[in-house]
Structure 1
């Protein structure tokens, strides 16, 4: 599963799932470009990765920044072979409680950001004759908790974007949506802290998974790398769930006997 001489762009790659993906691609000898708004975390992370890793500060909701970042990646490593659209944010709110500006912000980052990165990366893939766009959706595109209306909308729409890219740019370009369950990330840990009893909410989340744990970021990274490799070359246009069995049991929680 070597990515030697391949260039992988990971958005939101400084922490969490993005960092897990970047670590796996780097381990497999890929050139990794991390895009993130957190400059300190991004630079520190890429320094830890070492050679073949570059950080570029980028707000994926702004087209000029996206276009410039991808051109920098191409200039540094000669092209783009894999784009992992991972950048995303989460806010707890239902439709009637969501402010318009919050709705716009979540969809701008989670959905429009993926569109903009694909828009500017795909031409380089076409020029090279091959490439793959991987969009980080969520199990919540299929089974949804309460009070996450804008987040769920953005993650569901990413599956439609994935299909469109696959249909429009086949056979040279593939596109796949990854749909994780609960992952132990800074984003989720911060979300737990918003509750009155973070430890209880964390355990309830763990209990939703039949494997009795949350995923680690590199669990997701291993799947992403497999799909991006030649070993996954027959997978296209599909949402792939990696959710520890979340959502297949009536009643949800493994322990709700």
Structure 2
């Protein structure tokens, strides 16, 4: 899918030479964020499990690395399972050695299973907690020494604003717990790292985003007609990462709202099908 990004605030080149460590960056939103930041001259660490081509899912750490270089950035492709403490630590060290430090961590890797407690096998429950909430803890814990050395350190996690209404908990409490856990950890990290000058925020899409999760875990490819392209999250993530002085730290951001604050008035081109831009589905955990 070709991504079309919008030019927003005058921050061109703000990420030049900055090192962005992105989990799950081999496809979908992670890939889109990688390419958006690469176009600004950033160093991109593509930390994901997908080292070999998948028959149904396009994209590997190596294919995205090539795209990053073509977009104008520098790439480091690392096969990483965010559940593996030793491997994540090694990846952080490799990134810092290659590029001289780490300026931002984007927690994009995720696991989703929309089932209630009775229908969720323990292995699937553990998988969601480990890849979602635990990974936020682990990457932050291991990246802190590097981020504290950055002039504009960031931790950005793709998780929703807290919404504890029963309608969001009853149908799939295990998944909700894992995603809200990411947000709660981010809220705590924002306070913990405030004096160190490291900004911590969460970001969630206002509408469904056309990714493999929507096609295979939530519904089917027909739902893309009710979705926006990953570029909307990439543009919003970029706006977070170029924001200085902790102005956004602690906030639970929605892509559409942040982009609106930064001057975007027309979201039509973000729609997977612009002709149906007025028929988009609101994402999980958000009210219509």
Q: TM-score band (shorter)? A: 0.7 to 0.9
1:161 aligned partner: 185
Asked whether the 8 Å contact 1:162–1:238 carries over to 2, the reply is no
Give the SS at the match of 2:227.
Answer: coil
Q: Distance in 2 between matches of 1:178 and 1:25?
A: 16
Give the SS at the match of 1:133.
Answer: strand
Give, in angstroms, the shift of residue 96 of structure 1.
1.3
Q: Distance in 2 between matches of 1:129 and 1:104?
A: 36
Q: Distance in 2 between matches of 1:77 and 1:52?
A: 9
RMSD: 2.3
Q: Deviations for 1:71-93, whole angstroms, at most 9, x for unmatched residues?
A: 01001101010110010011121
Residue 119 (str. 1) matches residue 141 (str. 2): yes
Asked whether the 8 Å contact 1:140–1:152 carries over to 2, the reply is no
* Aligned counterpart in structure 1 of residue 212 of structure 2, from 186, 197, 207: 186
Residue 8 (str. 1) matches residue 20 (str. 2): yes
What is the aligned residue count?
236
Structure 1: 5+ residue stretches without partners: 207-212, 250-257
1:210 aligned partner: none
2:3 aligned partner: none
In structure 2, the CA distance between the partners of 1:153 and 1:145, relative to structure 1 (3 Å rule), is closer
Q: Deviations for 1:192-236, whole angstroms, at most 9, x for unmatched residues?
A: 55xxxx466x27xx6xxxxxx412111101111101113684111
2:202 aligned partner: 177
Give the SS at the match of 2:76.
Answer: strand
* Aligned counterpart in structure 2 of residue 29 of structure 1, from 27, 34, 41: 41
In structure 2, the CA distance between the partners of 1:112 and 1:153, relative to structure 1 (3 Å rule), is same
After TM superposition, the score normalised by the length of structure 1 is: 0.84
Q: Distance in 2 between matches of 1:141 and 1:16?
A: 25
Asked whether the 8 Å contact 2:35–2:67 carries over to 1, the reply is no
1:242 aligned partner: 255
1:42 aligned partner: 61
In structure 2, the CA distance between the partners of 1:75 and 1:219, relative to structure 1 (3 Å rule), is same
Give, in angstroms, the shift of residue 188 of structure 1.
1.4
Give the SS at the match of 1:39.
Answer: coil
1:252 aligned partner: none
Give the SS at the match of 1:127.
Answer: coil
Give the SS at the match of 1:9.
Answer: strand
Q: Distance in 2 between matches of 1:121 and 1:53?
A: 18
Structure 1 segment 1-257 matched on structure 2, within 5 A: 1=11, 2-40=14-52, 41-50=60-69, 52-138=74-160, 144=168, 147-171=171-195, 172-180=197-205, 181-192=207-218, 198=220, 202=223, 213-230=226-243, 233-242=246-255, 246=282, 247-249=286-288
Q: Distance in 2 between matches of 1:238 and 1:29?
A: 26
Q: Distance in 2 between matches of 1:248 and 1:151?
A: 18
- After superposing on structure 2, the runs of 4+ consecutive aligned residues of structure 1 that deviate more than 4 Å are 139-143
Asked whether the 8 Å contact 1:226–1:232 carries over to 2, the reply is no
